[in-house]
Structure 1
Amino acid sequence: MEIGSTPVPRVAVVVFLLKGKTVLLGRRRSARACHATFALPGGHLEFGESFEECAVREVKEETGLEIDGTEFLTVTNNVFAQEPSPSHYVTIFMRAVLADDGEHVPQNLEPDKCFGWDWYDWDNLPSPLFWPLEKMVLSGFNPFPSQR
């Protein structure tokens, strides 16, 4: 995003939506280099919105799923310098689970942005992953709560 002619960072909130030992991923539709990569549900933080509110709203808008128990996990600083139109995102990673009474089958409510959603086993993720997610996976990051 640019203000005048100066590019500025944007804030995105993405959600590790967990079900058992699986995570929800969608295959992106994009004119950018990240086209056809698998990514978490999420989107831009709106003015005045909390990270939790954004997570709930984005998951509902993209998949129709209701979530509970959002929890902050980490933040990353991603500069997409090689893109056709370079961008810079500060990405807030949240964790959530499905609402108890919620529907567990994701719908593709933004077919112009996503090919579809599915649940993937954390130990057998699809390829190619959206590079910020891939970087986290390769670093050993695990979104699942530790067993105590």
Structure 2
Amino acid sequence: MEQAVRVGVGVIIMYKDKILLGERIGAHGANTWATPGGHLEYGETIETCAKREVLEETGLNVVTVEKLGFTNDFFAQEQKHYVTLFVKATCDDHHAQVKEPDKCKHWRWFALDALPQPLFLPLTHFLAQHKL
């Protein structure tokens, strides 16, 4: 198996001082809480990826995208290596729906001082390095 570094895009959506997080299902990051996001596709801009992933996962339409920072994440158990590009997005609605029930149990809004545990590794690293 060829080992490669993948690029992910994590989309931070805030509403009334709360962040949107979903509980992940599946082998990669199962049972952790994460922002909407996914793999950057070949030839795709970061902004386009953020809009596509948010719509696919939550049904929300992204209006604005602002680049925030990145993390370098090695998932030892899964033997996966990601660089995750984090962006902050605003949406025209705040009623997230589970559009990919095989990947996410539910979407919830959390205060930054009351985040659920465990968080997805890239989000843990991002929050350790950046203030929202």
Q: Normalized against structure 1, the TM-score is what?
A: 0.84
Residue in 2 aligned with 1:20? Answer: 16
How many residues align structurally? 132
2:36 to 38, 41, 44: 41
Q: CA deviation at 1:123?
A: 1.3
1:135 to 95, 110, 125: 125
SS at match of 1:135: helix
Task: Give me the whole-angstrom Cα distance separating, in 1, the residues matched to 2:124 and 2:85.
Answer: 15
Q: CA deviation at 1:95?
A: 0.4
Residue in 1 aligned with 2:103? Answer: 113
1:89 to 2:79 alignment? no
Task: Give me the whole-angstrom Cα distance separating, in 2, the residues matched to 1:50 and 1:131.
Answer: 23
Do the aligned partners of residues 57 and 136 (structure 1) sit closer, same or farther apart at CA in structure 2, a change above 3 Å counting? same
Q: CA deviation at 1:30?
A: 1.4
CA RMSD in angstroms, aligned pairs only: 1.3
Task: Show structure 1 runs of 5+ residues with no match.
Answer: 144-148
1:126 to 2:111 alignment? no
Task: Show structure 2 runs of 5+ residues with no match.
Answer: none
Do the aligned partners of residues 140 and 50 (structure 1) sit closer, same or farther apart at CA in structure 2, a change above 3 Å counting? closer
1:79 to 74, 80, 86: 74
SS at match of 2:19: strand
Structure whose CA Rg is larger: 1
% identity of equivalent residues:
46
Task: Give me the whole-angstrom Cα distance separating, in 2, the residues matched to 1:31 and 1:12.
Answer: 16
- Given that 1:12 and 1:43 are in contact with CA atoms closer than 8 Å, whether structure 2 keeps it comes out as yes
Do the aligned partners of residues 7 and 140 (structure 1) sit closer, same or farther apart at CA in structure 2, a change above 3 Å counting? closer
Deviating beyond 3 angstroms after TM superposition, the runs of 4 or more aligned structure 1 residues are: none
Give a deviation string over 1:16-73, Cα, whole Å, max 9, x none: 01112011000000124x2111001000111111000000000000000011220110
Task: Give me the whole-angstrom Cα distance separating, in 2, the residues matched to 1:76 and 1:134.
Answer: 9
